[in-house]
Amino acid sequence: MSLNGKRDGDPRAASTLERTGLLGAASEPELDRWTDAVRRDTGAAAAAILLLDGGRVVAKSLCTVAGHASELTEVPASLSRAEYLIGAAGSKPRSEHEGAYLEHAVSIDGQTVGVICVADPAPRPWGEDDRRALGTAADAVSTEIRLRLASEQADRVQELLRSHNEVHELIAQGAPLKDVLMELIAGIERHDPSVAACVVLLDQESSTLHPGAGPSLPPDYLAAIDGVVIGPNVGTCGSAAWSGRLTITDDMATDPKWAPIRDWVVQIGLRHCWSMPIKSSEGDVLGTLALYGPEPREPLPEHLTLMADGARMAGIAIERHRTLERLIHDARHDGLTGLPNRTAIFEQLDDALLRTHSKQQVAVLFIDLDGLKSLNDTLGHDRADEMLREISERLSSAVRADDFVGRFGGDEFVVIAEGVKDDEEAAELGFRLLDSISEPLPGVKSTTVTASIGISLMTGTGIDAREAIRQADSAMYTAKRSGRDRCVFFEGSQRIRTGRRLALARELRGAEMRGEMRLEFQPVTDLAASETVAVEALLRWSSPSLGEVSPVEFIPVAEDTGAIIPIGAWVLRESCETIARVNESLGRSLELGVNVSAHQIANPGFALSVQQTLHHAEFPAELLTLEITETALMRPDTVTARTLRELEALGVRIVLDDFGTGFSSLCWLKDHPLDAIKVDQSFVGGLPDDPRDRAIVAAVIDMAKALGCTVTAEGVETEGQLTTLRALDCERVQGFLLARPAPIEQLTAQLGERVAA
Ligand code: C2E
Ligand code: MG
Ligand code: MG
């Protein structure tokens, strides 16, 4: 089994000789000198050094009468060392007993790494001198091997130092952390090719590990440990990071810390893992440095040194990297809000513009808070700072996940949105931002901050970040000039653009106070008396940016946003005052119908506000009829029920508007006596020809009469309809046939004429 080319086996036995280079084929004059010497001194026919490398025996420096053998030969396993050398000494292989053989062990630090030996083809005795000669030669060979080992060791240390220097150099240059760690690991693996090194980084916040560098480990393994939560028994690295102590697993196959994935790690060729925590200068664990290998084994002391040195350097690299990251972050972020600053905004925008193409535009939204200076003055700087932080958080949560929010300076923010389809999408984002900003601020009662937003939309051709910002900024100024609290698009001419529904919502806010709302009145005619007995107030809105908008469109939006409450109050006040004046000037008692929405009557203070309005306008309660749609009345809501009772107590009349279009419940009608019902124009429209409509209208009129309610038919457009309604004994009618809704002046003129006539 091999780990990305790592050599199998215990390196301790193998490496001693291998590291000396003696197992190579080259002739070694240093050794040959000693085989020559022992052959001469003992008068033997052959001398050799036999190296013991693991299980095999390798003949090095074989010296016979014929001279030195040039090739390195492995002694066949079938031959003993004596048989081999006696054979080499004579013409044909001899048995041990036919010749003479003498050897002396060559040892290094108590470990036998070979023998130096002499042999003769014929038996002969060996004297003390022979043994001494061999002993001296063995010592010399041992010294030679030690020298070579020392020099090899020195080379490796030199190489390791070079690698350490390289690592320090990279750290000093501020190279990417990955590069530093890769060099560190390469150095360790060059130093000891039998291990695969790996650095994992600890994310302190989440207590999870993430691979930093481990080029010799299987990528699957690195992927598997990415995000692992550390703990006392979570693998070797997880445990080392958890305890902050060196953790050794000799054999992953038996260590309980690896139990959950034991089979898998063994299968991918990992058996040992030794892990050294990497610490910061303060002693916090930053990660771990681990050495893996394909066979179970304990680390040697030199491995521990290797890991300790490596972990120290990795620690410096990681700390340095983090400091640098912090510096870079600080240089690109705003200290107060933590948002990217102006520099970062320009960078981001330049990148975004490079990425964009014709179908996917980049929207730049330049946001400037309205009236921050005065807030600063009233709230004090600390509170204003807090408010800026609050607003920056709101902006960040109002944008989409991929959008970018930066603080341009002071009270200016920039949002960059990529992949924007069209104006509509950009406008929607702009309105979302306006809405998030204008939410009431906590602790600052009745203080609402608004903003002016300039939007520039770009396809990235020929425009740089500076120009894009300039455009958005200039559109923002237009937004300020045209009344603040709005979005303006930069288009050279700077159109004030709006996403329809959001635009309605935005423009509706305060519209009644800006004088954008007015009322028209439509007469209601009593058929028996053939005269106008009532008028219905109908709201009209002329928005400076959206033009004339129908109540059918804006009322539901006003209901959704709550704007209906102040708007409804305005309608009531305005209409009561108007009709009070008209009645006075004409000497009439025209009834007034005012439409109210479900939200208004569900508001606990509604009846009281009606009472105050009537009082203020000096308009008699009994002339006021509130027109409420069925859906509003059907709501089983206690506030609504109470409001209705309170209104009744005031003497105000309630009419069920658009009868037949909701879920008209007869039970409900039975329990809640109403004053009037308005038959919806959709039924009136079918008269006189549609027998079903006719039947329904007839039934509603009969039912209303039975319940004591007045019936009004709405939307009367033709004589045919009018005749039918008369025949069905409908009391009141309203519709274009009799009069269109019109400004009060027009109506007063008509009524005045009639009075005069
Ligand atoms: P509504 O209360 O049923 O008002 C009658 C609607 O029918 C008015 O539309 C009126 O202009 C229209 N109409 C009148 N005669 C005819 C006719 O002969 N033919 C046709 N086709 N239509 C006729 P408008 O003014 O567009 O108002 C629509 C709705 O908006 C109103 O329906 C009412 O529900 C709501 N609305 C209007 N003003 C207010 C208001 O001040 N507050 C509330 N909450 N809702 C209002
Ligand atoms: Mg109505
Ligand atoms: Mg109606």
Interval 657-708: pLDDT, tens: 888 776 666 666 776 768 899 998 888 998 888 888 899 899 889 988 888 8
The CA 627 to ligand 2 mean position distance, Å, reads: 5
**pLDDT, averaged across the chain:** 88
Query: Lowest-pLDDT range, 326-335, 494-503, 643-652?
Result: 494-503
Q: Are 536 and 734 in contact (CB under 8 A)?
A: yes
CB distance 380 to 365 below 8 Å = no
Which atom in ligand 1 lies closest to the alpha carbon of residue 539?
38
Chain region(s) in the chain for CATH 3.30.450.40: 13-152, 174-330
Classify burial at 682, counting beta carbons within 10 Å of its beta carbon; exposed 0-12, middle 13-18, buried 19 or more: middle
Distance (angstroms) between ligand 1 centre and the Cα of 521 equals 10
And the tokens for 588? 């009439």
CATH fold, domain 174-330, is Beta-Lactamase (3.30.450)
The CATH homologous superfamily for domain 342-498 is Reverse transcriptase/Diguanylate cyclase domain (3.30.70.270)
Other CB atoms within 10 A of residue 345 CB: 25
User: For 332-389, how does the pLDDT look when each residue is reduced to its tens digit (9 = 90+)?
Assistant: 999 999 999 999 999 999 999 888 876 778 999 999 998 777 777 777 788 888 889 9
* Cα 679 to ligand 3 centroid, rounded to whole Å: 7
CA of 632 to the centre of ligand 3 (A): 13
Confidence of residue 9 (pLDDT cuts 50, 70, 90): very low
Helix or strand holding residue 404 (H, E) = strand 404-409
Name 264's Cβ contacts closer than 8 Å, sequence gap at least 6.
none
State phi, psi for 670 to the nearest 5 degrees: -65, -40
CA–CA separation, 349 and 429 (whole Å): 17
**Sheet containing 361-369: order of strands:** 404-409, 412-420, 361-369, 451-458, 486-489
- CA 586 / ligand 2 centre spacing (Å): 24
Lowest mean pLDDT among 85-99, 124-138, 592-606: 85-99
Closest to 364 measured CA to CA, from 437, 478, 468: 468
Using CA atoms, how far apart are residues 4 and 692, in angstroms rounded to an integer? Answer: 87
- Is the pTM higher than 0.85? The answer reads no
The pLDDT-based confidence of 153 (bands split at 50, 70, 90) is: confident
Q: Tokens 């002499």 label which residue? A: 118
Average pLDDT over residues 409-432: 90
Evaluate whether 482 touches 503 at the Cβ level (below 8 Å).
no
Q: In this structure, which long-range contacts are made by residues 663-667, counting pairs with CB atoms below 8 Å and at least 24 apart in sequence?
A: 663/630, 663/631, 663/634, 664/630, 665/634, 666/703
Q: Does domain 13-152 have CATH number 3.40.50.80?
A: no
Q: Bigger pLDDT: 11 or 258?
A: 258
* Environment class of 14 (CB within 10 Å of its CB; exposed 0-12, middle 13-18, buried 19+): middle
pLDDT of residue 515: 94
Residue with token string 């009431």: 440
Exposure string of 276-309, with b = 16+ CB inside 10 Å and e = fewer, is: bbbbeeeeebbbbbbbbbbbbbebeeebeebbeb
The alpha carbon of 36 and the centre of ligand 3 are apart by a number of angstroms equal to: 126
Residue 443 confidence class, pLDDT cut points 50, 70, 90: low
Angle at 484 between CA 340 and CA 360, to 5 degrees: 50
CA distances from 537 to 257, 568, 594, 677, 740 (A): 81, 11, 5, 17, 12
CA distances from 152 to 19, 61, 146, 192, 590 (A): 7, 21, 10, 12, 115
The dotted CATH code for 507-756 is 3.20.20.450
Residue 625 CA: which ligand is closest? 2
Give the nearest ligand 1 atom to 714 CA. Answer: 15
Ligand 2 mean position, distance from CA 594 (Å): 7
For a ligand 1 pocket test, name from 536, 540, 595 the mutation site with the most ligand atoms within 8 angstroms of its C-beta: 595
| Residue ranges matching CATH 3.30.70.270 in the chain | 342-498
Ligand 1, CB within 6 Å, residue ranges: 522, 538-539, 550-552, 555, 568, 571, 595-597, 627, 657-658, 681, 714-717, 734-736, 741
Q: What is the whole-number distance in angstroms between the Cα of residue 551 and the centre of ligand 1?
A: 7
Which protein residue has the closest C-alpha to ligand 1 atom 34? Answer: 595
For atom 17 of ligand 1, which residue has the closest CA?
715
**Whether pLDDT at 444 is above 70:** no
What are the angstrom distances between the C-alpha of 246 and each of 77, 192, 322, 413, 523? 43, 19, 24, 49, 93
Residue identified by tokens 């590069």 is 179
Give residue 635's pLDDT: 63
pLDDT for res 497: 46
- Please list the helix, strand and coil fractions of the chain in percent, rounded to the nearest 5, in that order: 45, 25, 30
Which residue in 116, 89, 157, 113 sits closest to 20, CA to CA?
113
pLDDT band, residue 26 (cuts 50/70/90) = confident
Sign of CA dihedral 337, 338, 343, 349: negative
Mean pLDDT of 102-111: 91
CB atoms within 10 A of CB 319: 18
| pLDDT, position 634 | 67
**Residue 491 DSSP class:** S
User: Residue of the nearest CA to atom 45 in ligand 1?
Assistant: 595
Average of pLDDT values for 23-46? Answer: 88
- Lowest mean per-residue pLDDT among 609-613, 630-634, 718-722: 630-634
Burial annotation 532-562 (CB, 10 A radius, 16+ → b, else e) = bbbbbbbbebebeebeebeeeebbebbbebe
Strand, coil or helix: what is 7?
coil
345, 406 in Cβ contact below 8 A? yes
What number does the ligand 1 atom closest to the CA of 593 have? 2
Ligand 1 midpoint to CA 646 (Å): 26
- Residues 118-142 have a mean pLDDT of 93
Residue whose CA is closest, atom 22 of ligand 1? 715
- The residue nearest atom 11 of ligand 1, judged by CA position, is 741
What are the structure tokens assigned to 623, written together? Answer: 């002339």
Nearest CA to ligand 1 atom 2: 595
**Residue 664: predicted pLDDT:** 61
Mutate to test the pocket of ligand 1, among 516, 532, 538, 565 (most ligand atoms within 8 A of CB): 538
The dihedral formed by the CA atoms of 356, 474, 334 and 410, expressed in degrees to the nearest 10: -170
